């Protein structure tokens, strides 16, 4: 089998099928016990767009991401991808819907969650080969090209413990890309890293944005959100209190709570 050309389409985000928003979320509501953590969250994500979710700890950002990926089940609201699935959480969620949701997006967690006893290459090819049935040789060629893209070719046979935290997180990102999802979800991808390693991971995210990947990112890196995001949603107590283009939202927040949050962090 011939090696995959690193400029091959397999490494690019999936091509747009039409110009409807890739994702429409409406009325998302989730309660843990008596704690209403999402209270009617609505937003859209267009193809190729980067949406940043910001706001205080506990405001519901991670729960939104987990709901998009089928890891959490809200009691009301809909999550609709342009080419399916469309899941209405007010009705019972079928296993097929949950699997379809999981397959539309790939999540990169705060901690990379790599398998410790598998090499970098094995970590990256595991999902495509075992979950998606991609032939091994093809998965390996694609993994190698992706590792090359993030400057980690020479680490393909290393184990996670032999890598720095930033390298581990870059492998986590490559693992998500290898699944060729329509949507990438990032849950505070740099918050577990030492400050000197944050930049290398943010640079990869910025490059993915420039290449046209569609991404939803929960982040406390407000300078990064201001530079890279197309839209910023400010969460407060389970609602989107304020939203807008980063230039507007960061320089002219409409709500006092948004302003205080931004002033404290930026």
Q: Which is nearer to ligand ADP, 171 or 218 (CB)?
A: 218
Q: Which is nearer to ligand ADP, 60 or 253 (CB)?
A: 60
Q: Given the rule CB under 6 A, which residues bind ligand ADP?
A: 32, 35, 37, 55, 57-63, 218, 235
Q: Which is nearer to ligand ADP, 47 or 61 (CB)?
A: 61
CB of 32 to ligand ADP, least distance (A): 3
Q: Would you call 12 helix, strand, or coil by DSSP? A: coil
CB of 61 to ligand ADP, least distance (A): 4
CA distance 17 to 45: 15
For the chain, what's the residue count? 266
Q: Among candidates 218, 246, 219, 220, which has minimal Cα distance to 232? A: 246
Q: Among candidates 130, 131, 202, which has minimal Cα distance to 173? A: 202
CB of 168 to ligand ADP, least distance (A): 22
CB of 66 to ligand ADP, least distance (A): 7
* 16-49: b (≥16 Cβ within 10 Å) or e: eeeeebbbbbebbbbeeeeebbbbebebebbbeb
Q: Which is nearer to ligand ADP, 160 or 253 (CB)?
A: 253
CB of 146 to ligand ADP, least distance (A): 28
Q: Which is nearer to ligand ADP, 60 or 172 (CB)?
A: 60
Residues 150, 98: contact at Cβ < 8 Å? Answer: no
């Amino acid at each position: 089998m011939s090696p995959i050309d690193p400029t091959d389409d397999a490494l690019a985000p999936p091509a747009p099928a039409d110009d409807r928003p890739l994702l429409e979320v409406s009325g998302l509501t989730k309660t843990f016990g008596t704690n209403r953590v999402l209270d009617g969250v609505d937003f859209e994500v267009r193809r190729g767009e980067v949406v940043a979710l910001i706001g205080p700890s506990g405001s519901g950002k991670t729960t939104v991401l987990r709901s998009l990926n089928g890891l959490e089940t809200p009691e009301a609201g809909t999550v609709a991808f342009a080419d399916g699935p469309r899941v209405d959480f007010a009705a019972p969620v079928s296993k097929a819907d949950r699997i379809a949701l999981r397959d539309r997006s790939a999540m990169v967690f705060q901690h990379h969650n790599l398998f410790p006893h598998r090499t970098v290459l094995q970590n990256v090819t595991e999902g495509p080969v075992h979950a998606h049935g991609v032939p091994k040789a093809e998965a390996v060629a694609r993994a190698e090209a992706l590792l090359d893209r993030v400057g980690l070719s020479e680490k393909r046979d290393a184990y996670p413990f032999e890598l720095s935290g930033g390298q581990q997180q870059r492998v986590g990102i490559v693992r998500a890309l290898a699944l060729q999802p329509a949507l990438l979800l990032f849950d505070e991808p740099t918050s577990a890293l030492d400050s000197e390693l944050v930049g290398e991971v943010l640079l990869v995210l910025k490059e993915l944005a420039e290449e046209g990947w569609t991404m939803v990112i929960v982040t406390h890196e407000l300078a990064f959100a201001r530079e890279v995001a197309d839209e910023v949603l400010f969460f407060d107590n389970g609602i989107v209190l304020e939203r807008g283009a980063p230039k507007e939202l960061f320089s002219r927040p409409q709500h006092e709570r948004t302003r205080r949050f931004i002033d404290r962090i930026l």
